[in-house]
Structure 1
Amino acid sequence: MDLTPDTALVVIDVQQGFDDASFWGRRDNPDAEQHIGLLLDAWQASGRPVVVVQHTSVSSAPLLADAPGHALKPVVADARPALLVDKQVNSAFYGTPDLHAWLTAAGIRQLVLCGIQTNMCVETTARMAGNLGYDVVLPLDATHTFDLAGPDGTVLRAEDLARATATNLHGGGFARVVTTAEVLALA
């Protein structure tokens, strides 16, 4: 795996509202924010582009535009992104401004994705990026998610959902699933 000098780091939905355990439930990977911070530091030190994506929910109270939880977490709040994308759905490619148009204009073809939730916005963005022809790298340990109940009431643990995302993305050819340390060794 190589990283190009213009590989963009896309930081997805690292917002304070995801700290509301009474709303979201139990999470996995308590080190996700630390790994995201390491990636951000490396990208900013290298001069590579950083894109920060922020979810503005129309239904999830912690992420409503006027809720305190809409704010970015401290690990991301001081980032100096080349682009800030606001979205209301799972994919960062359906936000404002247009991420795909910006990446295309900048000639960027490789993305490193991290953020919250592994099996929701991160996975959806990775799938779309792969479909759009981007070379996608996903350090899984720089993401986290929450336990989730299915239609029959069965609850899947966050760790199992993250593992399924890794299998779907890597096995399906949408992304190379790696660790933060592997990415940092190349940054």
Structure 2
Amino acid sequence: MASHTGNARLRLCDARDEGAALMIIDVQRAIDDIGYWGERNNARMEENLEDLLGCWRGGNGHIVHVRHFSHTPGSPYRSGQSGAEFKACVTPRQGERIVTKHVSSAFVGTDLEAWLRRHGVSRLVVAGVATAHAVSTTVRHAGCLDFRVTVAADACATFAVRDRNGRLWDAEQVHALSLAVLDGTFAEVTSTHSVVQHF
């Protein structure tokens, strides 16, 4: 098994550094469909995402908006539905990169890696939805590709999970465990405040 422990010791990305990118994953109207997903954790995610975007837009770093267009029947993320639209708090501006994916990893079936390499990006700050799914999968993939990754924990959110034995793991438990697995192996997990303080 490959080790990525070096990622744990990186310094936080600098938005004024063109080698850094803020990546926001799957923050679309679909996440507000409580009937489909159930309750999520972290009601302040949108506020923290706005703080990260405000910081990045004041510098020279790249901003990447990842959106999910699901092929699953009934998914609120299906292209053409209102759920597939970006939430207002993260609406992309002109010049900001949009990547469309169809699976959990933002690197599968997209030109994301090639685009990052072409623009000299080696460091990522990642936020979005869901911590246990697209965020975790993309962060692990980025780590395996030798990107240095920071996750803004309080700018991420996830949903409850019921296991095959019927036990319900609430969203906060799923969120915390997902971040614990990433931290120190594939990424440094920190807060929005800590990220912003370094700019």
| TM-score (normalised: structure 2) | 0.89
CA distance in 1, matches of 2:96, 2:83: 23
CA distance in 2, matches of 1:102, 1:156: 37
CA distance in 2, matches of 1:26, 1:184: 28
2:87 alignment partner in structure 1: 73
Count of residues paired in the alignment: 185
Is 1:3 aligned to residue 13 of structure 2? yes
Aligned with 2:154 (options 141, 162, 169):
141
2:4 alignment partner in structure 1: none
1:16 alignment partner in structure 2: 29
Runs of 4+ with deviation above 4 angstroms: none
1:43-82 equivalences in 2 (<5 Å): 43-59=56-72, 60-80=74-94, 82=96
1:90-130 per-position Cα deviation (integer Å, ceiling 9, x unaligned): 0011143x110011111110000000101100000000001
1:109 alignment partner in structure 2: 122
CA distance in 2, matches of 1:153, 1:25: 15
Identify unmatched segments of 5+ residues in structure 2. Answer: 1-10
CA distance in 1, matches of 2:198, 2:71: 39
1:122 alignment partner in structure 2: 135
Quote the RMSD (CA, aligned, Å): 1.2
Is 1:165 aligned to residue 196 of structure 2? no
CA distance in 2, matches of 1:109, 1:62: 33
1:29-68 per-position Cα deviation (integer Å, ceiling 9, x unaligned): 0000110111011101112100000000011521100111
**Counterpart code for 2:75:** A
| Secondary structure of residue in 2 paired with 1:43 | helix
| TM-score (normalised: structure 1) | 0.95
Among all aligned residue pairs of Structure 1 and Structure 2, give the percentage whose two residues are the same amino acid.
35
